[in-house]
Structure 1
Amino acid sequence: MIRGRLLNSEIISVLAAMGHTDQLVIADAGLPIPATVKRIDLALEKGLPSFDATLALIASNMVMEKVILAEEIKENNPEMLKKIKEILSDKKIELEFVSHEYFKKLSSSSKAIVRTGECTPYANIILQSGVNFEGE
């Protein structure tokens, strides 16, 4: 048994298997999930679990070099964008913005998509794996 706050065995397995530049998506309840991508469905009801709580927990257990967000979040969900920046503030990572349509295309090549119960617009993020070299 591993120690830590993250208990979901599917998420732990995906994180452990990720290599440099592999991507994991954390999605709201409405993002289309291609049949070819592993679906980890956490959604219980509207708002549970929340996107930001899910992101905070996964981000604390993952080495990232970049995140990708839909450009539309800036205008349509600035409160969530602020929360995302706060959650990631202690990490030295690049924030990249792309169109929502391109975001959906990118998500189709991710290792997995974690679906939350979030029901606010554009609450989706792609986490790109970095490398875990001690001392760097």
Structure 2
Amino acid sequence: MLKGIPKIISPDFMKILLEMGHGDEIILADGNFPAASCAANLIRCDGHGVPEVLEAILKFLPLDTYSDHSVSLMKVVEGDPVVPSIWETYESLIKKYDHHFEEFEMVDRFEFYERAKKAYAIVATGESALYANVILKKGVVTE
């Protein structure tokens, strides 16, 4: 163990974060997402929610300031009455750690799946909220 690293970040998870370069994407997936079938690198965080994982990694992972959108969400499928309140939680967490964040990119479901297949890693969580999937694009460490 090391000081200051949240217990939710396993050694394998930290290794993935360290390996990622500028522009690489990581998916934080809810419990319904087909993480295992899409992932090049799969990290299991069963029993944890996306907000908990998001807050833990934002302490270490800079978001990309060179692209139009550093954070993307899966758009609600047309006709689905779900209103994802978890997105407000994401916004407040992201703004806590990243002062450049302005807005989410909204990605259609099947486009989101294709991006997930190209992502550096997918973190499979036990999140039960619908439309709780999020893509983070890694930025440059400037400190």
Same fold (TM over 0.5): yes
Superposed CA RMSD: 1.8
Whether 1:82 and 2:88 are equivalent positions in the alignment is yes
Report the counterpart of residue 67 of structure 2 in structure 1.
none
Match of 1:118 among 123, 127, 130: 127
TM-score, structure 1 as length reference: 0.85
Greater per-residue strand proportion: 1
Question: Partner letter of residue 104 of structure 1?
Answer: Y
Cα deviation for residue 3 of structure 1 reads 3.0
Question: Partner letter of residue 85 of structure 2?
Answer: E
Whether 1:9 and 2:20 are equivalent positions in the alignment is no
Cα deviation for residue 4 of structure 1 reads 1.8
Gap runs ≥5 in structure 1 = none
Secondary structure at the aligned position of 1:76 is classed as: coil
- In 2, Cα distance between equivalents of 1:114 and 1:24: 8
Q: Compared with structure 1, are the counterparts of its residues 35 and 52 closer, same or farther at alpha carbon in structure 2 (3 Å cutoff)?
A: closer
Gap runs ≥5 in structure 2 = 65-69
State the identity %: 26
Per-residue CA deviations over 1:10-30 (Å, capped at 9, x if unaligned) read 110011111110011110111
Contact 2:84 2:132 in 1 (8 A): no
Match of 1:38 among 41, 50, 61: 41
User: Paired residues, what number?
Assistant: 129
Cα deviation for residue 119 of structure 1 reads 1.4
Cα deviation for residue 42 of structure 1 reads 1.5
Contact 1:42 1:115 in 2 (8 A): yes
Cα deviation for residue 129 of structure 1 reads 0.4
- In 2, Cα distance between equivalents of 1:89 and 1:55: 12
**Deviation beyond 2 Å, 4+ runs, structure 1:** 33-36, 75-78
